[in-house]
Structure formats: structure tokens, C-alpha cells
Amino acid sequence: MAVIAVENLAKSFNGSPVIEDISFQVSGGEVFGFLGPNGAGKTTTIRIVLGLLQPTAGTARVMGSDLGRNDALRRSVGVLLENNGLYGRLSAYDNLRYYADIYRVADPDTRIRDLLDLVDLTEFAESPIGNFSVGMQRKMGLARAIIHDPAILFLDEPTSGLDPEAQRLVRDLILDLSREKNRTVFLNSHNLDEVQRICTNVAILQQGRIRAYDSVEHLRASEQTPVYLLTLADPAAAERACTLVRGVEGVGSCSVDGDVVTVSLDGAAAPRMLRELVRAGVDLIEARRVTRSLEDVYLDVVHRSGGEV
């Protein structure tokens, strides 16, 4: 059974559709990326899945249930939305203690100390979090969201406002939750590099509809003629290399820019091309297959469906 199953979801506000016919599934232990430009309908979808908003049509189930009507299930869910859900006047420790008590966490002191250590805030345990930087507060928000060790985690821009080191810490934490603890993570992020690094599957939403829904791997590989960048030891050999390469069966085009030769070809032709260059005595420093980044895919999808990025 899918951990999150959304089917034909639609929502209108005052008769204007905001999302239409949204369907996707998230499996256990997966990190799922929910992407789309501002106003695409991501928050609306999440709010329906969390049971905070009623859909106009369709269903959104978490572990087979409507989250809004299942109190027991809500305890298995951790949520970090835009707001960190923390009290500025309370210390980091007391904020977590407040939530630990609500969720009746066993051995709360150990859990809180472990979490503060995990988000690298141990030395600030007794400081009021109102004095924390935006990034420190975000890390506290994440610690708050996972205090009860939820099986399913909804994270809305978890790394916004974080410096690169803290972003990495949060990324590693999410990957650890998924890979080591089999937790399911639903991630909404505009940070496509981050999504590419940690998500298995993604859906790209644009103007209320899903425009792409696949594994990151498939999306990056699809509709693509492989491109190789060849860096030559002797830049003067570039034109000759291109002439040689064009004669190889399966090579589409070859162009030269300085000492870099760009070749597009069908995948099976790559070994033939490299053998031909070696045979002709062309020394290569590097031969690199270029893959599209998730950002390239995202921009294509959003542009193709006619929207602002």
C-alpha cells in the first residue's frame, strides 16, 4: 500500500480552480519531491493531504486514511511548514520539551539532547530561540517536527535560510531518516539541487496540474541524445578530432570550442568514438557524458506548459 495516495484531487476557491486532477503516490521509505513555481498549488495540495483543507473533488489518503479524521494516524506524522511552530521566549530545550510532552515521548531528556546534537545546537540548549538566527530556528523547527520519531514527514522548504553547511546537515538527516530508518519524506522545495540529491521520485506541478511525474533518474535521462564533452591534451588537434569523430557510425554532430569538443551521438556509439580517437593518436584528458540536471528538466517542463518559472 502506498503511504501517501492522492487521486484526482481538485480544489477551487470561489469557483476558480487552483488544482485539477492531481494524482500521485509515495511509497514507504521514499523521499518524494513536490515541485513547482510559486502559486502552482503545492501548499494547497499539502494542506489537503494533511487534512487541513477539504478538496472539491478527489481523495488524499495517508496510510489508507483521511489524515483529518484519524487522530492516531496524526501522531505518526511530522510536519514542518513555513512556520517553525516554536515559542520565541522559550529556550531550545524547553521548546522541544513542550512538544515531547504533548507527544508523550519516552525518555524526553535523552531524546531532546540527541536531537539538539543532531541539529548542532547543543551549546544553545538554554538560550531563548527568539534570539536565534533564521537558519538556527529552521533547524529547531526540524527537530520539533521529528521529536516523536514520525513514520511520515512533510517538509516545506526545510533548508530555506540555511547556510551551505547547515543545508548539508539537513540533507544528510533526511537521507538518514529515509535510508536507515525507512521513514517516508514528502518534500516541497525550490532548491532543485537539493531535490536532485535526495529525492527518488518527483512530481512537477504547474498551474494546478501535474506536468511531470517520474523518478529523478528517468526524468534526467528522458528525451535526451547523449552529449559527450571531450577535453584534448593538444587543443590544436580539436578540428582533426571532430573530423574523425564525424566519420564514426552513430555520431550526430561535433563542434569545437577552444580545447573542448562537444559530440552528440547515440549511446552505443560512444565506445566506437573513443576507440577511433585512441587509434588515431588523439590524446584525451577527459571524456565526460553530460546529463541534464533536474533544474534543466524542471525549466523545460514549466516552460513547455506555458508558465512562469
Q: Edge-to-edge strand order for the sheet containing 57-62? A: 16-26, 4-13, 57-62
The binder of ligand ATP chosen from 33, 36, 150, 158 (CB under 6 A) = 36
265 near ligand ATP, judged by CB under 6 A: no
CA distance 98 to 283: 65
Phi-psi region at 38: left, alpha or beta (left = phi > 0; alpha = psi -120 to 50): beta
Residue closer to ligand ATP, measured from CB, 98 or 213: 213
On the CB side of 22, how many CA atoms lie within 13 Å of its CA?
36
Count of residues that interact with ligand ATP, criterion CB under 6 A? 10
CA distance 273 to 247: 9
Residue closer to ligand ATP, measured from CB, 16 or 271: 16
CA distance 78 to 143: 10
40 near ligand ATP, judged by CB under 6 A: yes
Contacts of 73 (CB under 8 A, 6+ apart): 62, 63, 65, 67
CA angle 152, 189, 44 (to 5 degrees): 75
Are the C-beta atoms of 157 and 195 separated by less than 8 Å?
no
Question: What residues from 232 to 261 belong to the interface with ligand ATP (CB under 6 A)?
Answer: none
DSSP code, position 73: H
Residue closer to ligand ATP, measured from CB, 52 or 290: 52
39 near ligand ATP, judged by CB under 6 A: yes
Point out which span in 36-44, 143-151, 195-203, 256-264 binds ligand ATP (CB under 6 A): 36-44
Contacts of 120 (CB under 8 A, 6+ apart): 139, 166, 169
43 near ligand ATP, judged by CB under 6 A: yes
Residue closer to ligand ATP, measured from CB, 18 or 170: 18
44 near ligand ATP, judged by CB under 6 A: yes
* Minimum separation from the CB atom of position 40 to ligand ATP (A): 4
Residue closer to ligand ATP, measured from CB, 13 or 87: 13
* Minimum separation from the CB atom of position 43 to ligand ATP (A): 3
The binder of ligand ATP chosen from 8, 13, 181, 291 (CB under 6 A) = 13
* Minimum separation from the CB atom of position 46 to ligand ATP (A): 8
* Minimum separation from the CB atom of position 13 to ligand ATP (A): 3
Are the C-beta atoms of 150 and 102 separated by less than 8 Å?
no
Contacting positions for ligand ATP (CB under 6 A): 13, 18, 36, 38-44
